[in-house]
Structure 1
């Protein structure tokens, strides 16, 4: 029990004393008072024969009666226990006061005793409070009256009535005060109970809401997982046949086709590349929305990177009789730190849009330092003189699956994801895309990136060169693990063309047996196969062969797949459909590094 609970005049919490506290208080006061009375009983016992009243015996009787209080509390007879305590306490004070005389001031303990009714009873038990005060004040009046009679004061009627009326007035005042005090406590109780009920209700609602949110979170996670699995599956199912289409097209283009076939083959390749770009956009959009797309910070040749992008888009530009012009500020460093893949994706989207919406015009790419040559902020601009964008639509074009107008999609094609993905990618890189455009006069898309320059001496890195020597891969032995007959046919033709010696395994289990029986310079491992998948096969191979490089051939571009590939023990991955030259360069880096 805290000391501040005893300061009842300052009580703010109406439940300062619960039942347990009241029992402890009554037991403590009873035992304490009984001990004092017993102590004095020995003094009174010696004076008993000369005293008119046997105080020693009376004290022993009172001490025994006070001991009834803890017993009654133990029996859960709380009201009788408390009334017994107050009655015996009042009588004990009166007896001591009478015996010790007027000068002892023992009667002042009556006022200390007045706190007990407030501590031991509640507002609902107010009748017992008033009974307790009646007992206390009756004995107080009896004590004062006896002493006034003993001192011959009562002969003065005015003084006696004045004394008694003062005591009665104080009694009435205290009763009224305590009534109001307890009434206020009751209001506090009711207010506290109402607040507690309100808080309990809010807590239950919060718990219910938390449970609902948890279920909603679990449902959302389940939907998200299903969505990821669906996209991974669809990615694989779409890329697998597309790999065959692009692969065969590339083979036909490089196999001396007839002149009248070249145009058709280029159209087929262009269409397949567009389909692949669309699939990539949908997968990138999903990865960005799920917060699973990571931005790299690696050294790369910025100037060469942008030049390659310009060359890659030149064929499309020529088809629409457009020209692409590249302007690079001389202060731009050759090597910078950043994400070359995402930068290429952003610029390629902007350049492709410029070509798409411009006929017989010009697309200009400008790269320059922001605010002079002393900082690392590099500005990129892609400007065209095509159809332009209306002012009211310049915000709309950056929204998901939105184009300027419905007629734009019908006339020029596209899903409306390119600029949306561009904006999201730049936001991940702490930047944003801006546009200046006048309808009918062209558009200028621009953004700024912080790209720290890299000194070749401090951070050297290898730039993959286009190596023309076919002998670099000659007679290297490769195990191709693939179950799709179309993909096998495409891969076999490229492997033959690059003069590679190869074996074929149609599932992971077969691949494990072949690696045990033969020695290979490289394993090209498909991931999704019957009997045993590529992950399990790789893990089994790594138990007895930790050196042979394993390159995953996957139709999924999800980041989770790449992480799983690394965890399984593979050295890298190539996403299908692969670009022949890129795959060849990858094989050279592994099989014939310079």
Structure 2
């Protein structure tokens, strides 16, 4: 008996160590880890009870006492529960990949099987509790026997048979490592039963359980959580990149089709005409189309090359003022004498920032070169300011010129990724800028009037590597905390400006974005808003989809959806799912007053 106690004691100690290591380690929650949790706990309880029974024998506690009989029955119950759970685990790993077998059982059949299994467990437990247990104790050996222990042996035999079925039909090289605990368990269990038949005083009942949980600790599928998160992040980035590329290729293809149609039209007209002037005019048109197409193809190749770089966001510490200086000095060499190029950089911008300086330089270079290209005379003004809150510096880059301007339809096309024949070069360059800004988590707005000029506003959040915020900046931030914040989400820039003006002089901070993804990014980055007003008709993600994502991710921010519909049922339906209000477009003064009242009350 002392040999048995020593074996049980050693098994109990290393199972406790395994349990501590396992439960302290971060792990994924899945079927296998949940099963392993139960097996570990049952193995510990089983060994503890067996040790307790051995101690009772040494202390000469009456074998037929009520307490001792209770421990014996509890010991048999834990053995039955352990092998039952272990059997469930075996069949799960054996048939998890056999979808055809699983599909043969409809939900009704599965329910029947589950009920039969529950009845089987209930009957077995009833038998263990009610059948007689006898005790043998001659001062040297002590063990239990009788109908209850015989019943457990029969159950063991049934489970052994089912395991052999699983081994015969499902073992292969790929899954062998998963079956290793089963092989070891069968061998050790057989050895323990054999030794018990020779010498019942050798108590090795719990030894197979401890060995099985030890081996399962090293074979159970428990991927590292950090690795899983990195893989998921990489997958999301790859999917986003593929979507962007597909949209971009589609847009370029459509543009090339339009150009081919124009070329065919000119060629047909040229072939049908004998007028030299008409032929020359058509040839000039063809030359212009070919030059434009060639230029567009070159830009497409450049943007595709940029995409490869932009797969990864390369953050580094950089001197922001030097970066602006280098970019503007390079631009000055390309500016005509008839253009007044002005640069204004606020002094409160920290000397060093931490972020993707390469992409910021790309953005600055592209918007300045576009402005130079489409401004023949007048001015180009670059203004860079910042808003500092704790360790974040929000760069506000504004570029204003007196150039030819951009039609509102073209601006909408830039943000909706649809191309137009006019301004194709500028359109593609600004699409590229928009794409980069989306990747690094900024905002991009264009205000323009034809023949009067263009104003581009970009905001990008960068980290401050060292604490260099000034006391007056901190005081200003604390003051800002008391001001309500509203996030406006609408792809129509004119509509954003109109709503923003309606909130003027109301002591309310208004932030604007043009896409649902930008709204989600701001909230996920920790920006706080008292209210979100979002248009239902949005590209990619509509207003309702954005609300559902915010709700699913646990963000409890009141949302107002604006829509063209005045259907009362839609408004009622939206309010039932948690949307604060639904406003018919265009937003009126009364709607603004209601919003202001709500913000003051809350």
User: Which TM-score applies when normalising by structure 1?
Assistant: 0.28
Instruction: Flag the structure with larger Rg.
Output: 1
User: Which TM-score applies when normalising by structure 2?
Assistant: 0.28
